[in-house]
Amino acid sequence: MTDKRKITIFDTTLRDGEQSPGCSMNLEEKLQVAQALVELGVDVIEAGFPIASPGDFEAVRQVATKIKGATICGLARSHNDDIDRAWEALQHAEDPRIHVFLATSAIHREFKLNMSEDEIIGRAVEGVERAKGYCSNVEFSPEDAARTEVDFLCHVIEAVIHAGATTVNIPDTVGYATPEQMGAVIKSLVDRVPNIDKAVISVHCHNDLGLAVANSLSAVQNGAGQIECTINGLGERAGNCALEEVVMAMRTRPDYYTGDTNINTERLVPTSRLVSEITGMHVQRNKAIVGRNAFAHEAGIHQDGMLKHRTTYEIMRPQDVGFAATDLVLGKHSGRAALADRAKQLGYELNPEQLKSVFKEFKKLADQKKDISNEDIASLIDKELVGSAG
């Protein structure tokens, strides 16, 4: 059997996630989330963009000083002032990392930077070298890498690794890539960059086409060793790769994915709820892994199967991600088996005729109410028991 590769989980909830409109956090909230991320088992926490504002600088400084048990990272453009400010914020961290970025795609070179390819490489190398003067752990991101010509991307990556970058991150900044394309880009770096073995390949995927998780997994299959992600998939526009989804995909399909993480998956739901509460960004009910409906079943056929054997309709145990148990929801699609199970949980023993009668009344009620409570069920059963006793 193939040995599992350790995939580094780089969480950017406090940086990219906080850039979601309406999701800003105060200092105490950032510290609370950072501590929760350590308890979750995240390897790298990107705490913010220190030069962006005095508040962002102070948040990174406080996280770097107070949070132990993970690498603390700060973002910086490939400018001296940015890198100096990042180090000023990070210098007291247990394990600091400076994350330098510079756009490389043709559209960014022409319309945003007005720089040539040689100028881009020169600026990138200067940035990495300056960061390397402060700490040994340096990451470089060629912004908009997924839309950058592969030949040029290979040249940039080779140059920044030679300059001292220990992680090279390939961002799909605008969520344009497909899984096949992202996999091919990573494979090209592995095959064509001569010094690629001296750095970890990372990937940072956005979800504009709903492909962030798929693109990240494809990158791992082709040689990436780090995934950048956020809790609940928070992030710019449609968000980032969702940490909980990409982690559980690897954990649930070890027959297919050759990588695993240090994530304590039982902390996924509590961490998701904490971030949701702090940011005010509610998790949709049918959200994979952490949504309220992720382990809920209402259809009668599904409920009957679940009662006979959990794996008929569940590929993960709810307890493994932090839920207390499977939820067999009673509604108009539910079957007799689920009603009988709920009655038993509530302390009732119904004979077949009583169950048949209660089920008939239950269906009538379910057509009128979306949510059927335990009190509703108990009332229907009590009415039937009184009637049958009389």
Query: Cα–Cα distance between 300 and 75 in angstroms, integer?
Result: 50
Q: Which residues of the chain have pLDDT under 70?
A: 1-3, 298, 327-328, 387-390
List domains and CATH numbers for the chain: 5-279 (3.20.20.70), 296-389 (no CATH)
Beta strands per DSSP E along 161-278: 167-172, 200-205, 226-229, 259-260
Report pLDDT for 387: 64
Report pLDDT for 1: 40
Give the sign of the dihedral formed by CA 357, CA 363, CA 369, CA 374: positive
- Rg (the chain; Cα; Å): 25
Task: Kindly state the helix (H) or strand (E) to which residue 75 belongs, with its residue range.
Answer: strand 71-77
| Contact between 46 and 16 (Cβ < 8 Å) | yes
Residue 209 three-state SS: coil
Report pLDDT for 296: 75
Of 249, 239, 251, the closest CA to residue 211 belongs to: 239
